[in-house]
Amino acid sequence: MSITDAVKRVLVGRRLSSAQLGETLLPKRIALPIFASDALSSVAYAPDEILITLSLAGMAGFGFSLPIGLAVAAVLLVVVASYRQTVHAYPSGGGDYEVVTTNLGPTGGLVVASALLVDYVLTVAVSVSSGVQNAKAMLPFISGHEGEVAAVVIVLIMAVNLRGVRDSGGIFAVPTYLFMAGVAVMVIWGLVQIFVLGHPLTASTAGYTVVGTQQYEPLVGLGMVALLARTFSSGCAALTGVEAISNGVPNFRKPKSKNAATTLLLLGTIAVSMLLGILVLARLAGVKMIDVSAGSYFMSSTGQRITGEPTTVMGQLARAVFYPGFPLGFYFLITMTMVILFLAANTAFNGFPTLGSILSRDGWLPRQLHTRGDRLAYSNGILTLATGAVVLVLVFDASVTMLIQMYVVGVFISFTLSQIGMLRHWTRKLKTQTDPATRRQMKHSRVINSIGMVMTGVVLIIVVVSKFIHGAWLALLAMVVIFWLMRQIHRHYEQVRQEVGTIGPSDRALPSRVRAVVMVSALNKPTVKAIQFAKATQPSELEAVTVAVDPDETAEVVRAWQADDLSVPLKVIDSPFRQVTQPFLDYVRELISENPRDIVCVYIPEYVVGHWWEQLLHNQTALLISTRLHFMKGVMVTSVPYQLKSSRELADRYRQRTLAGRR
């Protein structure tokens, strides 16, 4: 067992087989942190974005932070209530994609899938960027390199996932609880200082005045509506990740649905408390933010313009609360904030390939992504996700404020469609349900989902309208492109399925004879092996064929052939243009046309090597010929591998990996 394997086993535990999966049903206390890191981590940036957007209206704007916070909290609770209905209706784990596909048909499902795929990329970009921004409170030297640092973090998370961390529940629980505890201690201790000890908190930006932009200062009329709408949209980032539990119902202990619904309620309550707690404390401590790119700025009490950006709300609050008495509290909370944000990014690295696998099963993505366990399939998804996120953090320099303009759209598309789907679900169920109690229950659920639908639909419209020109258009464009691509892939598979589906009598016709042709370029061990293997299949006819490219070489082969006693005739094909491929293909084509009911089996000796550069030095002509032979009907191509010494090491490595996987 290698060191990596050992570390992995300690961190992750044994790999779970399908059968074993049943053993690991989760109690609520473990399920909560597993499914909550994404949703809870967003309280690390949602307050920032609310204050940053409000800063455009100058000092007057910050007065709206609590009302906006309450609006976001209201939406969050409605969404939680709606998804509690979903977990009851789909105890098998009804993700939004499943719910929508089942109730609104495949096109709706595909829209949700496109939105979710884009959102996974943004989750990684936003979470890691926010983690890096928060880290600046502790490690100020990061300033100016945010994009690069975020990219490195994403690559590290990717590397961990490529190594194959399949089930990372255990390590999630601890930091999630520590983060929750840290925020709770900070908020409570801050409030105690202010209201019990009478010791007012002062954030580092408390003494500054914020000057907004001409567009929004003073804050009146349409401008006000627009700005508050944008602020609310950014704040709704706090809702991302709420739907995660609905995917995970089967992993809960019995009664699954009930436990999942309880956990969901718990999650909602905690998220709302944290969000509002942070916003209240920020207001009390005088925390202010500015939007550097949009042009709001700080002014000192003496009327001088302050350059430079403030740290995050979490950073300012933690410093105000824990300094100077307990600096360790500050470091602890910032570290936990970073960790939970990176864990949130990590969940996307699990979710993206899983969704890819489901989409692949339904024929929307290349088939080979379906087989979950295969390293290769997951690797593709992980690489795609990481590449997208790295590009985003580099282009937008890890600015959460810019990235968040694209975020949330996808989440609310999927929320809204999911609620519409649930409505259909209950309406359909009600048609066949006769038991009055159950009917009452269903009608109740339908009302809740209707409220959810209206609420999320309205938020979706607000988000799209208020953010469209600020970046949402890019996210929507990406979704449309992905949607179109998946449609094309599906159409292709559908066409192929129809083409190959109906097996007719002509397909069952047994070929009359097998004519074997062994491709020869020299008389050596691989050739002899190919000949012997071909002989073993006892074909109706067997001949060796060589193409006369170089007269000397050909003479040498013929001489060696005659000297040996392989009892197989060697045919020399003339090659007037000094090619190999074409004359050989022509020869095979003639063989087929001589007797179309025969099949021709071409045996190609192949060198198996251990390094990619050795591969470049061998088999290239064989590869070309084999590719072209595939276009001829009635031909099979058999490669007879000859393992060179250099291949042994690689074969051993493959075998070891297999054994390691089995333990």
3-state secondary structure of 304: coil
The one segment of 227-235, 275-283, 344-352, 640-648 that binds its own copies by CB under 8 A? 640-648
- Output 155 or 162, the one with its CB closest to its own copies: 162
| 3-state DSSP assignment of residue 518 | strand
Candidates 29, 525, 559, 571; binder of its own copies (CB under 8 A) is 525
Q: What does the alpha-carbon distance between residue 444 and residue 424 come to, in Å, rounded to a whole number?
A: 14
Report CA-CA distances (Å) from 135 to 139, 316, 335, 485, 656.
Answer: 6, 12, 7, 38, 40
b/e map of 443-476 (b: 16 or more CB within 10 Å)? eebbebbbebbebbbebbebbbebbeebbbeebb
CB of 553 to its own copies, least distance (A): 8
**What's the rounded Cα separation, in Å, for the pair 162 and 375?**
8
Report 580-599 residues binding its own copies (CB under 8 A).
580-582, 585-586, 599
Q: Is the CB of 141 or the CB of 631 nearer to its own copies?
A: 631
Q: Give the three-state DSSP class for 213.
A: coil
Q: What is the closest distance, in whole angstroms, from the C-beta atom of residue 429 to its own copies in the complex?
A: 24
Residue window 5-44: x/- pattern of binding to its own copies, with contact defined by CB under 8 A: ----------x-xxxx------------------------
Six-digit token pair at 651?
Answer: 């074969």
Of 465 and 528, nearer to its own copies (C-beta) is 528
Contact yes or no for 226/309 (Cβ under 8 A)? no
Query: Which of the residues 342 through 401 are near its own copies (CB under 8 A)?
Result: 361, 366-368, 370-374, 376
Applying CB under 8 A, does 651 fall inside the site for its own copies?
A: yes
What are the E-state strand segments in 397-556?
514-519, 541-548
Within 450-509, the residues that bind its own copies by CB under 8 A are: 489, 492-493, 496-497, 499-503, 507-509
Footprint of its own copies on residues 617-636 (CB under 8 A)? Answer: 617-618, 620-621, 624, 626, 628-633, 635-636
Give the residue, chosen from 144, 324, 436, 576, that forms a contact with its own copies under the rule CB under 8 A.
Answer: 576
User: Number of residues in contact with its own copies, rule: CB under 8 A?
Assistant: 96
Residue nearer to its own copies on the CB measure, 262 or 615: 615
Nearest of 636, 644, 598, 597 to residue 618 by alpha carbon: 644
Pick one of 511, 573, 595, 660: the residue that binds its own copies (CB under 8 A). 511
Of 584, 564, 589, 571, the C-alpha closest to 625 is: 584
Nearer to its own copies by Cβ, of 468 and 493: the residue is 493
C-alpha 643/C-alpha 267 separation (Å) is 57
Task: Report the distance separating Cα 121 and Cα 348, nearest Å.
Answer: 8
The DSSP code sequence of 565-594 is: ---S-EEEEE-TTS-SHHHHHHHHHHHHHH
**Contact set for its own copies, span 532-571 (CB under 8 A):** 532-533, 535-539, 549-550, 564
Q: Whose Cβ is closer to its own copies: residue 59's or residue 623's?
A: 623
Q: Which of 29, 569, 616, 656 binds its own copies (CB under 8 A)?
A: 616
- In the list 528, 573, 592, 660, the residue contacting its own copies (rule: CB under 8 A) is 528
Contact positions with its own copies (CB under 8 A) in 278-317: none
Alpha carbon distance 419, 407 (integer Å):
20
Separation of alpha carbons 596 and 511, rounded Å: 9
Of 342 and 378, the one with the shorter C-beta distance to its own copies is 378
